Amino acid sequence: MKKYFVFALVLLTTTAAFAQRGRTTTPTPTHTAAQDTTSALEKALKNAPPPPPPAAKSGKKDWSKVKLDPKKAADHFMIELGYDNWANTPDSIHIQGFNRSFNFYFMYNFPFKSDVRWSVAAGIGIGSSNIFFHNQEVLVNASFTNQTLAFPDLTGDPHFKKFKLVTTYLEIPIELRFAVDPTDMDHSWKVAVGTKVGLMLSAYTKGKDLVSGSGANEGNYTEKESSKAFFNTPKFEPTIRVSKGVVGVFGQIQINSPIKASAGPAVFPFSAGIVLSGL
């Protein structure tokens, strides 16, 4: 019996030893690969410089980079319809009625490359003025008895019911222009200042329907006399105009008298009215 007991004890001890040998222990790692990657990324982000602040959006448009349609930005016609009068007239000159002017120009526009809202324009055209006189004539023809530009008062004497002086000039307008939106000239506000240089082409008077001093009709006919003898050939007129789209208003005044200093009073024609222009 004792023999069997010893054999069983030896067998149990041997089995436990083999079982202990067959078990392998794998050491538990302290960090996984994912943890190492996450830690390195966090460290890199922590040490990275802060991102630059977002660029502020400016509401100012860079007009130097705006390209205009060359067909719309170049040549245009300009038409002016104005009311005319003379400043600095003596009491002996009786201007009355609807004095009017009509001017027509062909203009060419040169936008600034640095800012296409600004431009310079130059052109050429014809300007005409009609000044009406009441109970008065203007003697434009020089004669032995008429060495100056005379304005005889015919009140109470026979005179023409309608009498006017018409002057016509070849004109060169030059303008500095500004447009709020040059990409849409048909709707944009526009301002232009400049000057006109003119050369007189003709000056004539036209009388129509002769009446007596009491106003009775004495003849239905038209009389014209033409001469530039008493007039200065050049003229200079500062101008200004403001437009919305193609319609606007203009004003101008001649800074040199159209009448020669030796021939009559120094007067200064001015005009204001409506202008039609694409620029």
Q: Is 56 among the domain residues? A: no
Q: Residue 209 sits in a domain of what CATH number?
A: 2.40.160
133 burial class (0-12, 13-18, 19+ CB within 10 angstroms)? buried
Total-model pTM: 0.75
Can you give the pLDDT at residue 22?
A: 47
Kindly report, residue by residue over 6-18, the tens digit of the pLDDT.
455 545 555 544 4
- Residue 132: inside a domain, yes or no? yes
Task: Using pLDDT thresholds of 50, 70 and 90, give the confidence band for residue 19.
Answer: very low
Contacting residues for 193 by C-beta, under 8 A, at least 6 apart: 175, 176, 238, 239, 240
Mean pLDDT over residues 84-102, rounded?
Answer: 95
- Is residue 129 domain-resident? yes
What would the two tokens of residue 6 be?
Answer: 């010893």
**Residue 3 pLDDT exceeds 60:** no
Q: What pLDDT, on a 0 to 100 scale, did the predictor assign at position 235?
A: 97
Mean pLDDT score across all residues of the chain: 84
184 belongs to a structural domain: yes
- Does any domain span residue 5? no
Residue 80: which domain range?
A: 68-277
Domain contains 208: yes
Query: Which residues are paired to 58 by β-bridges?
Result: none
> What sign has the CA pseudo-torsion 146, 149, 155, 158?
positive
- Domain presence at residue 36: no
- pLDDT for 145-176, tens place per residue? 788 999 999 999 999 999 999 999 999 999 99
Q: Give 131's pLDDT tier (boundaries 50, 70, 90).
A: very high
Contact, 270 vs 256, CB < 8 A?
no
Higher pLDDT, 166 or 112: 166
Q: How many domains does the chain have?
A: 1
Query: 4 lies in a domain?
Result: no
Q: What is the pLDDT of residue 184?
A: 83
How confident is the model over 224-236, as pLDDT tens digits? 999 999 999 999 9
Q: Hey, what's the torsion of the CAs at 261, 252, 204, 122, to 10 degrees? A: 110
